[in-house]
Structure 1
């Protein structure tokens, strides 16, 4: 049994952030009903171009990633008939999940008090750009603005002298992280409701998630009075540790060492790279000497590691004691045996999609494909007890798709 089996979620949300929270809840077993505009649906469905990558036809990963496993109903909440259907859904649900801005929530009558009037026990969950308080609480935004640029990730990654800023590495990067935060908050709220009978309002913002993701660095900056500075492009990484940094291989690929105790791992690395004599080199006899002679150690390792391909080093480093990793792109991730062994990529319909990261009883979630627009409208209406005459009347009134 999945942890949230039997939990019903009404999702009134668009694009990537809040729908990705619904996707996680679906991964955990919840029945998530995605309410989409009766005519246009979620605008994310029209997203075909992402950077240099374009998707033609279906399935479209731009909609599948954040909407797998849900059911879709096309509903015009602005009509009295549509509002009545929404209230029926809300009355039978445990969670109301929305990304709509405060003004739109008020206009449509889906703000906290409106929804609580229909179902006092429902967990009301909001995802926003900049948080529910302050002068900018009514403003919208995207992960590029609120999560990436404003919360310091971009500036901390962009080396001095580089024009502009380093862009996010993936579409919906901050959206997906923030959505997982929101799903966790909803799960905690459901637990509180079971314990106390009280259903809290849950808030997660892109800005707050970005600050949390940068929390360690921001804490250092505020304590020391200086911003984090990105290292120059092509630099090793650590000025006092040759075993914490990036090294190029013979085939133009890279591997990353992150061994924070160089004295502990130095001899083992020397044996694995075929230079055991370096383990007894007096320049590197202690952790203090390794730190003092980091520049020399880095040059030696650069020369040695550049002599073989990443595949060759991967085979040799299979027994390496210290942490290291190949630097992989988003396509190479699909061929990573460890990722596949743990089912961090899971089949959903016709696509391989990233599974949400929490597993229960060492089991990956079973993913279904994202619904086609309004595909379950009649099914959901029938579950609410409506007969075909009423459903056809709703269609004629433009209340449902």
Structure 2
């Protein structure tokens, strides 16, 4: 069985991480992604986030992750000859995907109104900072500011009185989530066009995705008329079975047993402390809440008395929900990540392979394959030839500085 989007052609004019992540997802799903880069290349190519050793420093995992499976053509869209090549590419394209700001799109004649008029069957997809409407619709943004800070996520994680707000957990955190949203919107637009014949425009923003992620708090704050909800202190949980606990070997176990009365006694029994369940102070949810300090102290001491390995064995013998707080370097060994193909190794083209996280989508129980990202302009000649340009015409475009 082929991949879901095989036969779909996407022309991408996008930089950095947000929208390119979307293109990378569509490529894994089977679409042909032709990435148009300016003569100097996508600036993400130069934003090297180095590894801890010489081998990993030679590979830009940001670039590899967000631009997997694409073809690259360098094209100067500020020149009319470059835009002529783009129009030929769009003649049979299904989707035009862009992250350029509206003024830049208009100056190049690649705005939605212009391209949709010329190509009415084309789906025009854009990724924006804070949405295509409103007074700031033409303002740019990044995930660290528009998604993480403006979207209410950082504030919700920061305790009162902190010297600095909590920052993102890693590079392009909001970009990757927003890119996934945009890939979903494009897939829906492709389905709508197939069913109704109607193509159109879709936009996903960093701000909108952050708000979708924070919707529970946003709705509650709006209804209650408050600015923010105080972050509950970690040392006084509302439910002792919904918290993180340190083990004797300095690891953490995360519990999320929302039905506390269902799991409290069996957990105490399995952990060798039936006396806690029998204690009238901790008999049920109300009693434990009234005696939260004492109950929490007992549970903390209990977890601190055993190693992580011991707790994994104990917790696996009861029905309540739990997990280990893992470090990123442990993910490659996670049995579920391995079984579902969430981590794969991709041929790097030089006799080695590189690790890559696969899409969290399985079709018929199987993960999708990935291939590495393209070198700058690696496919320029082949793409131009497929559009009918002769060898002399390609050379002429290079002489003009249209193609590099």
CA distance in 1, matches of 2:164, 2:144: 13
Query: Does residue 1:295 correspond to 2:293, yes or no?
Result: yes
RMSD: 1.8
Q: CA deviation at 1:291?
A: 3.0
SS at match of 1:110: coil
1:3 is paired with a residue of what secondary structure? Answer: coil
Shift of 1:340: 1.4
Counterpart residue number, 2:156: 156
1:391 paired with 2:389, answer: no
After superposing the two structures, state which structure 1 stretch, 293-302 or 53-62, moved more: 53-62
Are 1:5 and 2:6 an aligned pair?
Answer: yes
- Residue 148 of structure 2 aligns to a residue whose secondary structure is helix
Choose which of 386, 398, 403 in structure 2 pairs with 1:400.
403
Aligned to 1:377: 380
1:99 corresponds to which residue? 99
Query: What CA distance in whole angstroms lies between the structure 2 residues aligned with 1:243 and 1:54?
Result: 44
1:262 and 1:290 in contact (8 A); partners too: no
1:214-255: CA deviation from partner (whole Å, max 9, x where unpaired): 0011111111222122233x424x32x110111111121111
Q: For residue 265 of structure 1, give the secondary structure of its aligned residue in structure 2.
A: helix
Pick closer, same or farther for the CA change 1:212–1:18 going to 2, 3 Å.
same
What do the CA deviations read for 1:267-302 (whole angstroms, capped 9, x no partner)?
221133222333333333333323333322211111
Match of 2:315 in 1: 317
Q: What is the aligned partner in structure 1 of residue 167 from structure 2?
A: 167
Where do residues 24-103 of structure 1 align in structure 2 (5 Å cutoff)? 24-37=25-38, 39-49=39-49, 57-103=57-103
How far apart, in 1, do the equivalents of 2:266 and 2:338 lie? 28
Structure 2: unaligned runs, 5 residues or longer: 348-352
Shift of 1:153: 0.4
Give the Cα separation in 2 of the matches to 1:96 and 1:189: 12
Structure 1: give runs of 5+ residues left out of the alignment. Answer: none
1: CA distance, partners of 2:134 / 2:55: 39
Work out whether residues 182 and 203 of structure 1, in 8 Å CA contact, stay in contact via their aligned partners in 2.
yes
1:330-364 per-position Cα deviation (integer Å, ceiling 9, x unaligned): 21222211221111122233222222222221221
Indicate if the aligned counterparts of 1:242 and 1:295 stay in contact, CA closer than 8 A. Answer: no
Q: Secondary structure at the match of 2:328?
A: coil
| TM-score, length-scaled by structure 1 | 0.95
The CA deviation at 1:54 is 9.7
Pairwise CA distance, 1:52: 9.3
SS at match of 1:331: helix
Q: Which residue of 1 aligns with 2:350?
A: none
Relative to structure 1, the CA distance from residue 320 to residue 69 in structure 2 (aligned partners, 3 Å threshold; closer, same or farther) is: farther
CA shift for structure 1 position 322:
1.2
Deviation at 1:320, TM superposition (A): 2.8
- How many pairs align? 397
Deviation at 1:56, TM superposition (A): 6.2
Is the contact made by 2:50 and 2:56 (CA closer than 8 Å) also made in structure 1?
A: no
The CA deviation at 1:162 is 0.8
Partner of 2:125: 125
Query: Which shows bigger deviation, 73-82 or 256-265?
Result: 73-82
CA distance in 2, matches of 1:319, 1:373: 53
Which whole-Å CA distance do the structure 1 matches of 2:290 and 2:303 have between them?
Answer: 21
SS in 1 for 2:135: coil
Q: Tell me, yes or no, if structure 1 residue 144 matches structure 2 residue 144.
A: yes
Residues 180-202 of structure 1: per-residue CA shift (max 9 Å, x gap): 00000000001111111111200
Asked if residue 352 in structure 1 is aligned to residue 361 in structure 2, the reply is: no
**Equivalent in the alignment of 1:179:** 179
